[in-house]
Structure 1
Amino acid sequence: MTARLLTGRLAQAAFVLWAAFTVSFVLLQLMPGDAVLIRFVGGDMGLSPEAVAGIRAFYGADDPVWRQYLQTLSGFLRGDFGFSIASGASVAGEIAANLPSTLWLSGLAFLAAMALALAVTLLATLTPFRFLRETFAGLPGLLVSIPVFWLAIVLVQIVSFCLGLVSVIAPGPWERLILPVAAIAVPIAAPIAQILLRNLDALAVQGFVTVARAKGATRPQVLLHHTLRNALLPVLTIAGLLFGELLAGAVVTETVFGLNGIGRLAERSVRNQDAAVLQAIVVIAALGFVLVNLAVDLLYPLADPRLRRSGGVAA
């Protein structure tokens, strides 16, 4: 990628992060209720009005909105996300404590989704019986419509309670990830498989495939050596959208399965109206989108030589 193109991408990334910060700040300001009053006055803490006023001053709850915006933005630029109203702990510390488990869950789910999508694609392409090929080809359309929360509950009911294959009561460190990974991976694998099958159908009528078949290449050889790699390239294009699906799935599955992570932290923060934590989660999610899409921009020319020849990557 040329320096000019990279500079443009970085400028776009900075704008997206600023927009995500600003929109989330405005929406959280419009949220009904007063989190400080709910947390420190609504309970039985017995705080005096002077103590509550000091707490409001500490969190800047009574400052003008424009000052809160500038102070919060300045803190984010320094890596200071403020303090949680619910716990009193540093927001950065809570994010750092919960983010690794979510990234681990999402990474495993993405790998499982890719493996499932490839398996469905191979079965829909190489199965010798036509009705089975049509069945596997139609499977992604069914899987993509399954809600994550419904699938998670069904997996617990069938796999754990009915079949007893995976324990949900005091499971091991790896066992407890099986069902959450499956719940996230299935809806993500469906669009990947749809894209692969659609591109394989388009590539099947290309000239290089006709030449390969004329030379005696079998269907598996054509798939593995000629068409599958080209069909995989468009998957990079939807990597950003897939990242969003991973985050949304993590929020649901961590809540359903009782896992600690960003999703569970977001759920607690919504319940407690903890605006500082919620805004940090939104901005970090936006940062993830930006980094994934920037990585796609860098990797796509490396995967497609035509873009290198057209100047997509500096020589």
Structure 2
Amino acid sequence: MPASSADAPAQVDARFSAAPLEDPGARLRRTARRVVSRLLGALLVLWGAATAAFLAQAVLPGDRATIIFNIRAGQPIERTPEELAAINAQYGFQDPVLTQYLHHLSGLVRGDLGESYQQFRPVTDVIGEQLAPTLVLTLTAIALAWAGMVVWVVLTAGRGRRTAGLGAAVDTATAGLPHYWLGIVLLLVFALQLRWFPVISGNSPAGLLLPALTLAVPLAGFMGQATRTEFERALQQPFVLSARTRGAGDLAIRLRHVLRHAALPAVTLSGWALGATISGAVVVETVYTRAGIGRVLVTAVNNQDLPIVTGVVLLVAALYVVANLLVDLVHGLVDPRTAKGGRPS
């Protein structure tokens, strides 16, 4: 006799519960191989970023000693060979390129990003002083993007052609909004016209919201595009029918069952989102006159302070690597089958 529709979800779940228990030693070895593989990939990314940062300085047109001399003088002036020789000796520019490269890598291993050409201070100190405001802005933006995406997708996905179409259209429209344009619009409307928020962001909670929304709105649209398809597909799965037969309400089913299955694309994008929002902070911190590494980077680029520029680039690469390692861990928590090398059905 064929199984009833109410028994189908139990049969689906039995595919996993009936699987033979895995040997703990094999699971430990697989986990170790997976961790080592991820760490090697992370080190490769960091090495590539460090190499690119070095080459960006090495192939810069013009003499680096002359650039540093002009930065310190505040304007191009005549310099003597002795003055240039002193700068070359200080920074090791007279050494072979390979020697400079190895010195660059060894400094990074020790946590030494060099010294600012203009401020005469370690790059780690210059960046470290402004890192906290940028991280607060970035994490707040990601949290707002997740909250907005979840609410919008849960309310509109699988609700009929018109509602679902409206939801998808809003996702597409918001995902394409430029940070600079959106920041100016929010600033004009909510700060200058309505006066709900300060024009200059500062470090207050009220001053944080508009910059965070400027980063969060496009990110929410982008994650919504990735999540909506999986959400609507999950609504057709047998476990939804099983939950309905047990008397669960529509909203409870969407939040407790469907969202978990549909969230994996957004979880994956969260690693990319951390790097993207930190990059977007360069624009947002400028628009809102907010402290952070974005403004440090803009100032360093304008002043040709290359150690700070490369330091920010390496920091973003490191944060991106850490974020992706965390995303991989969260993947295993959301769907344990991904930790076994399988794919969610």
Q: Is the CA contact (8 Å cut-off) linking 2:72 and 2:118 kept in structure 1?
A: no
| Kept in 2: contact 1:36–1:56 (CA 8 A) | no
Where in structure 2 are the equivalents of 1:202-213 lying within 5 Å?
Answer: 202-213=233-244
Look up the match of 1:191: 222
Structure 1 length normalisation: TM-score? 0.89
Q: Is the 8 A contact 1:126 1:219 kept in 2?
A: no
1: CA distance, partners of 2:168 / 2:135: 31
Whether 1:163 and 2:194 are equivalent positions in the alignment is yes
Size of the aligned set, in residue pairs, is 310
The one-letter code matched in structure 1 to 2:265 is: P
Aligned residue in 1 for 2:26: none
- After superposition, residues 1-315 of structure 1 pair within 5 angstroms as 2-33=31-62, 34=64, 35-41=67-73, 43=75, 50-125=82-157, 131-169=162-200, 173-307=204-338, 310=340
Per-residue CA distance 1:79-108 (angstroms, 9 max, x = gap): 111100021111111121111111111111
| Inter-partner Cα distance in structure 1 for 2:185 and 2:204 | 21
Q: Which whole-Å CA distance do the structure 2 matches of 1:169 and 1:147 have between them?
A: 20
**Post-superposition offset of 1:146:** 0.4
What amino acid sits opposite 2:290 in the alignment? L
How far apart, CA to CA, are the structure 1 residues paired with 2:73 and 2:282? 29
CA distance in 2, matches of 1:282, 1:48: 33
Cα distance in 2, alignment partners of residues 290 and 20 from structure 1: 11
CA distance in 2, matches of 1:227, 1:260: 40
Moved more, 132-141 or 292-301: 132-141
| Partner of residue 8, structure 2 | none
- Whichever residue aligns with residue 5 of structure 1, its letter is R
Name the aligned partner's letter for residue 232 of structure 2. D
Corresponding letter in the other structure for 2:34: L
Q: Relative to structure 1, is the Cα distance of residues 172 and 99 closer, same or farther in structure 2, using a 3 angstrom cutoff?
A: closer
What is the CA-CA distance between 1:290 and the residue it aligns to? 1.1
Question: 1:282-303: per-residue Cα shift (whole Å, max 9, x none)?
Answer: 1111111111111122222122
Q: Render the CA deviation track for 1:192-248: whole Å, top value 9, x for unaligned.
A: 222222111111111111233344443213212321121123322222211121112
Q: Could you tell me whether the CA contact under 8 Å between 1:109 and 1:181 is conserved in 2?
A: yes
Alignment check: 8 A CA contact 1:40 1:47 kept = no
Classify 1:231/1:181 alpha carbon distance in 2 versus 1 (closer, same or farther; 3 Å).
Answer: same
Change (3 A) 1:148 1:169: closer
With structure 2 as the length reference, what TM-score do the two structures score? 0.82
* Distance apart, 1:172 and its partner CA: 6.4
Q: Partners in 1 of 2:201 and 2:285 — Cα distance? A: 15
Deviations 1:140-192 (A, max 9, x none): 11000000111111111111112221121586622221211111111111122
> In 2, Cα distance between the equivalents of 1:108 and 1:170?
14
Q: Is the 8 A contact 2:231 2:262 kept in 1?
A: yes
Q: Following TM superposition, by how much is the alpha carbon of 1:60 offset from its aligned partner in structure 2, in angstroms? A: 2.6
Distance, in Å, in 1 between the alignment partners of 2:150 and 2:201 is 33
Cα distance, 1:125 vs. partner?
3.8
Unaligned runs of 5+ in 2: 1-29
Question: Is the 1:262–1:281 contact (alpha carbons within 8 Å) kept by the matching residues of 2?
Answer: yes
Change in Cα spacing, 1:306 to 1:172, as seen in structure 2 (3 Å) is: closer
Cα distance in 2 between the residues matched to 1:229 and 1:90: 45
Aligned alpha-carbon RMSD (Å):
2.4
Moved more, 236-245 or 16-25: 236-245
Provide closer, same or farther for how the CA distance between residues 164 and 102 of structure 1 changes in structure 2, counting only shifts above 3 A.
Answer: same
- 8 Å CA contact 2:171–2:221 kept in 1: the answer is yes
34-43 vs 93-102, greater mean Cα deviation: 34-43
- Letter paired with 1:272: N
Q: 1:136 to 1:307 in 2, by over 3 A?
A: closer
Q: Find the aligned partners of 2:301 and 2:200 in 1 and give their Cα distance.
A: 27
Deviations along 1:255-298, one digit per CA (max 9) or x if unpaired, are: 11122211111111111221211121111111111111111222
AA at the equivalent of 1:83: E
CA distance in 1, matches of 2:308, 2:341: 43
